[in-house]
Structure 1
Amino acid sequence: MYTILISILIGAATGGIWTALGLWKTWQMGIVLTLLVSALSFVLISRFLARRIEPRFLAVQKQIQAGQTALAISQLEALLPLSRWQILLKGQIHAQIGLLAYATGDEALAEKHLALSGIRATEARLAYAAMQYRRGNKREALEIVDVAIRANKKQILPYHVYAWMLWKDGDREGAINKLLECQKVEKSNESTQENLSRLQNGKKLNMKRFGMGWFGLQLEKPPAQLRAAQGMATRKGFRQKPKRRR
């Protein structure tokens, strides 16, 4: 990352100058200054870049809300060169592009970007796992979800996705164990309690509580009512008719 490299160079230059001039505590203070100035430079450069990048992300968000998915993807791709400067930005951009492509059915583009998404981009990692699962690459799908769980231990949905995949393939006991593991993260979570009870009583998992976070993975079809609501929300240019005043 350019930001890290530049910060280290600024810090090293500061410490080197201090040591070369033979100032107070010479090289010992030079090392301290190198570390402090490097850290400060990193923070300042990162904030400067964030202020420049944020408006472009907001513009992309508006395009998504307006249903201009292709334009949003194009704008996100244009941001990729900036990822050389900002740490973690590359994985975030790939995650967003991948999710947009996945939602529109462009699986080739989705796979390309979801595979490069950051491990903390949970939604993108789950979408990538779901894609592999639907293709029959079930072991790989479980591995992807497992990494997502370890990177985001406090998020509940990845545990349930993992359990669902196990249950779907007939491993009810494995699914129960995964939800018991999930219960340790948040004991009072109603979704976990319900699905754990359902599995223990020989019933199928109920993932409806997770809404489009689950149905967006395309492992199950959403209920008709939810599909209709989603369609109305994303329809390009949709506006409600103004009500007449009485």
Structure 2
Amino acid sequence: MLNFLIAFIVGTITPVPLNVFYQVPLIYCGMISVVIFGVIYFLLSRRTMNKVTELVRSSQHDMQANRAERALSTLQEGFKYAKWQFYVKGQINAQIGTLLYLKKDFAKAMPYLEKSIVRHWVAMCMLAVCYMKRNNPTKMALTFEKAIAASRKEAFIWNLYAYCQNKIGERDSAIATLKKGIKKLKGSEGLEASLAALENGKRMKMEYYGDIWYQFHLEKPGAIIKKQTKAAQGRRKMPRM
């Protein structure tokens, strides 16, 4: 990318006069070259990423104000920085894919999510859910595994993975996933609660994770309230004599 190339060229050329005109040993010129390259690359990368971050913040502000189309347009501008810095394209794709998914425009979201950076675990999880909805359990599992490999300490990924496995009828696999997650993240109340629920033949209570769960559009807050109300009414109902 251009930032790397510029830093490399400047770092390589700058020490040359020191050796030619001042007879500075090559080993010291090499050390100076590495330092110059590192400093310049750091500064150029930070400048580029600051611009990308500003675009993302602006798009988030637009989303909060219900200006989704404007938010998408703002994020699209970020692609012009892809040639300057590594991974920028993947980050922008992740942001756009996530935004479209939140709008429930799953068909348009998928191409962006598929080109997302793996470290954006929310985008990867959304992609996995899309595969599940398209009856592609193999790609669903592979995508979840990638998300876990990049963000092992995110308990929600393990829980969502197990939820999707259970939803497609792979209850035993879901239990195995939760047990594996608990080994990695000891003391995770969410994982332990989900494991206990599945082992007892009950539904996983994903509402434990709040908004981050609802943004995947797998369950509506209203639906859960209705279930809880119905259950409460059932408990209060007096038995017939």
Question: Is TM > 0.5 for Structure 1 vs Structure 2?
Answer: yes
Identify unmatched segments of 5+ residues in structure 2.
Answer: 226-241
Within 2, Cα distance between the matches of 1:199 and 1:21? Answer: 75
Report the equivalent of 2:112.
113
Report the equivalent of 1:35.
34
Give 1:223's aligned amino acid.
P
Moved more, 202-211 or 140-149: 202-211
Q: How does 1:35-184 map onto structure 2 within 5 Å?
A: 35-184=34-183
Identify unmatched segments of 5+ residues in structure 1.
Answer: 228-246
Residue 82 of structure 2 aligns to a residue in which SS? helix
Residue 39 of structure 2 aligns to a residue in which SS? helix
Residue 170 of structure 1 aligns to a residue in which SS? coil
Does the alignment pair 1:15 with 2:15?
Answer: yes
Moved more, 35-44 or 103-112: 103-112
Within 1, Cα distance between the matches of 2:23 and 2:51? Answer: 38
Report the equivalent of 2:230.
none
Within 1, Cα distance between the matches of 2:125 and 2:20? Answer: 53
Report the equivalent of 1:204.
203
Within 2, Cα distance between the matches of 1:143 and 1:55? Answer: 32
State percent identity of aligned pairs.
27
The TM-score normalised by the length of structure 1 is 0.84
**Count of aligned pairs between the two proteins:** 225
Residue 70 of structure 1 aligns to a residue in which SS? helix
Kept after mapping to 2: 8 A contact 1:126/1:145: yes
The TM-score normalised by the length of structure 2 is 0.85
Kept after mapping to 2: 8 A contact 1:14/1:30: no
Give 1:212's aligned amino acid.
D
Bigger RCO of structures 1 and 2 (CA < 8 A, at least 6 apart) = 1
Kept after mapping to 2: 8 A contact 1:142/1:165: no
Report the equivalent of 2:2.
2
Within 2, Cα distance between the matches of 1:211 and 1:144? Answer: 23
1:51 Cα deviation from its structure 2 partner: 4.0
- CA-based RMSD of the aligned residues comes to 2.0
